[in-house]
Chains A and B, each alone.
Chain A
Amino acid sequence: MPSLLRRVKSKMFIFAHRRTLTLLDGEYGSVFKGRSLDFDELRAYVPGDEVRDIDWKATARHGSPLVKRYVAVRRHSVLLLVDTGRTMAAKALSGESKKDIAVQAAGVLGYLACRHGDDVGLLHGNETTTRYLPPRSGEEQLERLLQELDASVALDGPASSLAEQLDYVLRYLNGRLLVVAVADEFMPDARTEGLMRRLRARHEVLWLTVRDANLTPVKEKGVTNSKDVGTGQGIPAPLAASSKIQAAYEAAMVERGEHRSSLFRRLGIAEEQTSGSADVLPAVFALLEKHRSGAPTARGTAGGGNRAG
């Protein structure tokens, strides 16, 4: 079985320069706002580090920016919360399978966590089942998670219902986690919204949305009919290509997008969208940035510790 992690890594290195990766490391480190008081060492500032971590006095002495490092109180646990229902087997905006993008996104974040020595766990599932793989460290663990993820999404699988997984986290998982949710452009209903609000209150939440396929592809050769994996309803290509419907669809999509972003804003969850696997890295970067600079987080006391570096 080909290594999924290697694929994730190679894609990361294709799409990112070394500098960007370092930047990502810094961004990732800043997700946890908690600081322990045990000073460890000073190190050179890396773009992406919190500006407030800069030791200005030392910087003045040294001539270049230096950042304070603290001893970690404890290792973090990153929980990849991924929807592996039927809808994730459908096409993404880029034309790839949404599953591949979800694997890529989970891989990138897991890899960042691995580099920081954090534990990575996976919670995924669908309408009928929810599977939990407790956080552990190491790239082998991450590879296993990615394989599990890759294997559980199928076109003939059960339907998606992220509320079940959110419920599972809230019900059974204790301790503060960095929850990285990877889902598609679904419209959360009232129950899901409530669960998301509660999740946001108890954990750090990053939300990566894999954008769904454009339903009105521009008419050209080879455009086939579409089929909704959720309802099994077909969408004839000639119908979707009509300009009148396209215009209405565009308008409806803009409205939907606004609705969604206002929802996430209201919940205080940092959300970013990715349309393809080439887009994952910038999206993750933007997500971390957004989370850091976003609304004041409801941080708990248990989540302290800085592992910047």
Chain B
Amino acid sequence: MELSYWWILPLAAAAVAISAWLYRRRRPPQTRPIAHGDRLTDLPEYQHALRRYRLRLLVAVMLGAVFLAATATAAARPILRTTEQPESRNRDIVLCLDVSGSMTSTDAAITTVFQELAKEFDGERIGMVIFDSSSVQLFPLTDDYDYAAEQLAEAKEALDSGTGSFFDGTWNGAGSSLIGDGLASCVQSFPDDAGAADAERSRSVVLATDNFLSGEPIFSLEEAAALAADKKVKVYALNPSDIDYGNQPDEPGAQLRAAAERTEGAYFTVDSAEAVPGIVGKVQDTEATSYRAAPQAVAADVPDWPLGIALLAGTGMLVLGWRLES
């Protein structure tokens, strides 16, 4: 418990002292000079009443002092300073889904999970990019969660059926599953670092792909990963079909893992669509731990006690004043 404006207290004390001094210096109030006051003051009734009167005055003075002290304390803004380590809620997540035929079930699972997550988001931004031979930005980074959820629902439906206009624009290039290009366009969908306000935001890409490349991408996976690392984007790769033969580094799964770890992200193999929520949870958890904000002091006003005491003292003074008047 400390006071934010501690200097109010000496100020209030000085004000009280000055008014006390002025009170002492004021012209004595008009009194009626009388003689032989013992005619009245010797009466036991008077003495009894005088004692009660003095007691009330004393209580009134004490209440006044308490009232002044309490209001001065309240004016000095007592605060409770606590150290908090708030979980960073300013993440940017881009879902980067490979919509080649082999991936649709995993994609559907991921969209389902994020559809649920979007309902609980507060401060995060989410965007979605699908790619096959060319990439399409389904929706950019947004904190309009209703819109995001709507888009995710549509995506899920389309992914479940595997047909429809949803996939339009993803076959414009030659080949399919140009993962490097897809990841690069996902990384590009983060705004440039120039914006100082965004500098603090963490960036992650949830990349769902099996890394079965067919065709000639403009960006190789390594180049895309380098781009991501350059823009401080962490890549969390979800691979539903990690069927590497051995531990060769040029196998698709190993490549993907290397790319993800290069960006300080992580690599997960997804055995079934049901495992996706757990994996996304893990991703969220790693994000949460790695993006805990620096401990910061939080000052909360706690005027309850001084104001409550002032209220009681003020009420007491009113009652006493009424009793003294009557």
Among residues of B, the one whose C-beta sits closest to the C-beta of A225 is B31
Q: Enumerate chain B residues within 8 angstroms of A213, measured Cβ to Cβ.
A: 32, 34-35
A44: interface (CB < 8 Å) = no
> What is the total number of residues of chain A having a CB less than 8 Å from a CB of chain B?
40
Range of interface residues on B (Cβ < 8 Å) = 20 to 34
Contact B45 A229 (CB under 8 A): no
B305: interface (CB < 8 Å) = no
Q: Enumerate chain B residues within 8 angstroms of A89, measured Cβ to Cβ.
A: 33
A242 to B39, CA, bound (A): 16
Q: Enumerate chain A residues within 8 angstroms of B31, measured Cβ to Cβ.
A: 224-227, 234
A-B interface pairs (CB < 8 A), number: 98
B32-48 interface bits toward A, Cβ cutoff 8 Å, 1 = contact, 0 = none? 11111111110101100
**Chain A 233-289 interface residues, beta-carbon cutoff 8 Å to B:** 233-236, 238-240, 242, 244-245, 248-249, 252-253, 256
B248: interface (CB < 8 Å) = no
**Chain A 175-229 interface residues, beta-carbon cutoff 8 Å to B:** 184-187, 212-213, 215-216, 224-229
A155: interface (CB < 8 Å) = yes
A231: interface (CB < 8 Å) = yes
Q: Enumerate chain A residues within 8 angstroms of B324, measured Cβ to Cβ.
A: 238
A68: interface (CB < 8 Å) = no
In the complex, which of the residues A88, A186, A239 has the most CB atoms of chain B within 10 Å of its own CB atom? Answer: A239
Q: Enumerate chain A residues within 8 angstroms of B243, measured Cβ to Cβ.
A: none
A291 to B146, CA, bound (A): 113
**Chain B 35-88 interface residues, beta-carbon cutoff 8 Å to A:** 35-41, 43, 45-46, 49-50, 53
Contact partner of A90 among B34, B40, B50, CB < 8 A?
Answer: B34
Contact B43 A245 (CB under 8 A): yes
Q: Enumerate chain B residues within 8 angstroms of A226, measured Cβ to Cβ.
A: 31-34, 37
Tell me the minimal C-beta distance from B322 to chain A in angstroms: 12
Q: Enumerate chain B residues within 8 angstroms of A87, measured Cβ to Cβ.
A: 35-36
Contact B36 A239 (CB under 8 A): no
A234 to B37, CA, bound (A): 9
Taking A239-B49, A245-B45 as contacts, is the C-beta distance between A216 and B29 under 8 angstroms? no
Taking A224-B29, A229-B33, A238-B324 as contacts, is the C-beta distance between A212 and B39 under 8 angstroms? yes
Q: Enumerate chain B residues within 8 angstroms of A224, measured Cβ to Cβ.
A: 29-32
Among residues of B, the one whose C-beta sits closest to the C-beta of A184 is B35
24 contacts between A and B (CB under 8 A): A87-B36, A90-B35, A98-B35, A155-B33, A184-B35, A212-B39, A213-B35, A215-B34, A225-B32, A226-B34, A227-B31, A228-B37, A229-B33, A229-B35, A230-B37, A233-B41, A235-B34, A235-B41, A238-B53, A239-B49, A239-B53, A249-B43, A252-B43, A253-B39
